[in-house]
Amino acid sequence: MSFSRIPRRLVHHRCCLTTHSNSPPTVDSALETISQRNPSLNAFVTSRVPAELAETAVADGPLKGWPVGIKANIATVSNSDTDVTSCGSHALQSYKSPFQATVVDALERAGAVVMGKTNMDEFGMGSKNTYSIYGPARNPHTSEPQDKDPCQIYDRSPGGSSGGSAAAVASNMCRAALGSDTGGSVRLPAAWCGIVGFKPSYGRISRYGLVPYGSSLDTVGIMARSVQDVQQVFQAVSRPDTRDMTCMTELLRSRINMGSQSRPWAARLLSQNDMEAEKPLAGIRIGIPRECW
């Protein structure tokens, strides 16, 4: 379908959902959005209640006050009885992890506030977020007639397997969310929901606390509504971790960064100041494949 044939109301609705001109969600606004829209979208499968969030100490860091979602295959620890790491499966529907993933610890040290766990295909094995014990997650890019059942209105898939995280970000239930990517499970739902999805190089983010699917390919990925938000989250969580033997050491990271200095275009992309410049990609040649198969 050509762009000109897409119904104008859907184009307008998508622009409203993915606009970056509005203020980013706060914890309070995220809680309100979750209560209003999650029953229809089924993006969060567990969410923390206001009383619990009020007792949570928020660190003073670069992500202070950011509401974030965590995919249901990434271990979290809280006092809530509903905070389970289920992977969207009956097999783990009551599993409470005794430890927390390194990446979640890093988010909380940076000041982020975990809002809850997001929906996913069972054990990450799917690309539409259809096969989950919680039922399918739904894509928020749909108009909302008032005279129909919301669960029938939202009949589009958000992609998978990190569909809950993508739908939550696209509908402003959180400012950023974590997913996992083995063969496209962050990039696909991000594309389907019209947000930014980033799969970092293998070893950049610790996998400690991520329930494995394919250990030689699994990566923790980041979703947000802007490249800048993704970059801030990545800078907060991309750290060495001795508990994950595949996580890059500080020495290896230093060698990679030094190597980038011999490539001016790479050094420019790695620079925070240049990323905020008006034309950060000026002079960089980008290839677009005509056929991918």
* Residue type present at position 36: Q
**185 assigned to active site:** yes
Torsion of the alpha carbons at 122, 77, 61 and 206, rounded to the nearest 10: -50
**97 assigned to active site:** no
Q: Which two tokens stand for residue 53?
A: 């969030």
* Distance of alpha carbon 65 from alpha carbon 43, whole angstroms: 21
Cross-sheet strand order for the sheet of 113-118: 44-47, 113-118, 67-71, 176-181, 219-224, 196-198
**157 assigned to active site:** no
Contact predicate 132/120, CB 8 Å: yes
Any idea how long the chain is? 293
Choosing from 86, 162, 180, 185, the catalytic residue is 185
3-state secondary structure 87-102: CCCHHHCCCCCCCCCH
Choosing from 161, 162, 180, 238, the catalytic residue is 161
Known catalytic residues? 71, 161, 185
